[in-house]
Amino acid sequence: MTDVGTLKKFRAKIIDMAVRSGSAHIAPAFSCLEIVYTLYTKIMRVNPKNPRWEDRDRFILSKGHGGLAQYVVLAHLGFFSNSLLDGYAQPGSMLGGHVTLGASGIEASTGSLGHGLAMGEGVAYAAKYDKKSHRAFVVMSDGECQEGSTWEAIMGASSFKLDNLVAVVDHNHVQSCGPIKDVLPSFDPLSDKWRAFGWAVREVKDGHNVKELESILKEVPFEKGKPSVVIAHTVKGKGVSFMENVPIWHYRVTNPEETKQAYKELGQEVAIDK
């Protein structure tokens, strides 16, 4: 199956998981899905059969509310069974509504925005200190780039010359309450801000284009002695027309009619076989 076909199946399964649980962040998962998929399948060194492999690259989904994207990719790679997805965010499940330690392949509990980059910085610093070759990849929301703790981590990482640290900002331009340009008009230009804090910066115009993402991410580190950041421009709710760029889908779960329409647009009836 092509990447495009696989990603449509993932989106359908994400909706299925959200409906089963009765709660989810569908649109945030849709905006970062290609980023997570590309990192795991094209870029990072990981081993589903040995998830605690010492030389693995570490992945932290700082925007933990988008955890549905990580869960479907981990299941796809064989870190755990697809059947585990059906219990998402239900009592006793290892798959929390926000990414939670417990399931195979999860490196950190996240979701309290503004903390993930600092965790990644610590991982990268420890690898440098121990003279290890593994890297730390952190996928962030654009909204959390308004957090002071994020900028503390940005300053620290460049000061420590952590060129084994890679951040990818899911720049979907919409946060929980509305468009970023309305919430914080001074937010952009985001790339210039990261660059001013000592990072090597690249932008991806279409953060849903797997080939474009892969091409850029294969170049990390972009500069020796500097941490790397990719600003990936995405669409919140990408893939389902009535969700795209509509803030309410940060939180909402589809009703039966909406679920049917979403599956139709995705060309799916069954998302992922059990």
Q: Is residue 45 part of a domain?
A: yes
* Residue of higher predicted confidence among 149 and 112: 149
- The CA R_g of the chain, rounded to the nearest whole Å, is 18
Residue 172 lies in a domain: yes
Rounded average pLDDT over 178-190: 93
Q: How confident is the model at residue 182 (pLDDT cuts 50, 70, 90)?
A: very high
Its pTM stands at: 0.96
Q: In the prediction, which pLDDT does 274 show?
A: 38
The mean pLDDT of the chain is: 95
Q: Using the predicted structure, report yes or no on whether residue 41 has a pLDDT greater than 60.
A: yes
| Percent of the residues in the chain that have a pLDDT greater than 70, as a whole number | 98
The per-residue pLDDT for range 228-251, each reduced to its tens digit, is 999 999 999 999 999 999 999 999
pLDDT at residue number 247:
94
Total number of domains in the chain: 1
Structural domain contains residue 168: yes
Q: Taking 80 as the threshold, does the pLDDT of residue 82 lie above it?
A: yes
Q: With respect to residue 19, please indicate whether it lies within any of the assigned structural domains.
A: yes
Whether the per-residue pLDDT at 106 is higher than 90: the answer is: yes
Per the domain annotation, does 271 fall within a domain?
no
The answer to whether 235 and 28 have CB atoms below 8 angstroms apart is no
Q: What is the structure's pLDDT at 177?
A: 85
Q: Above 70 in pLDDT, residue 271? A: no
Q: Is residue 94 included in any domain, yes or no?
A: yes
pLDDT at position 184 over 70: yes
Residue 46, pLDDT > 50, answer yes
Please state, in angstroms and rounded to a whole number, the distance separating the CA atoms of residues 143 and 174: 8
Per-residue pLDDT, 24: 87
Q: Print the domain residue range for 106.
A: 3-266
CA distance 193 to 230: 13
| Confidence bin at 112 (pLDDT 50/70/90) | confident
Q: Is residue 131 exposed (0-12), middle (13-18) or buried (19+ Cβ within 10 Å)?
A: exposed
Residue type, 166: V
Distance of CA 194 to the CA centre of its chain: 19
Report pLDDT for 168: 98
- Does residue 158 sit within a domain? yes
Q: CB of 272 within 8 A of CB of 14?
A: no
CATH at 37: 3.40.50.970
Residue 273 lies in a domain: no
pLDDT of residue 1: 82
Calculate the CA dihedral of residues 181, 240, 218, 50 and round it to 10 degrees: 120
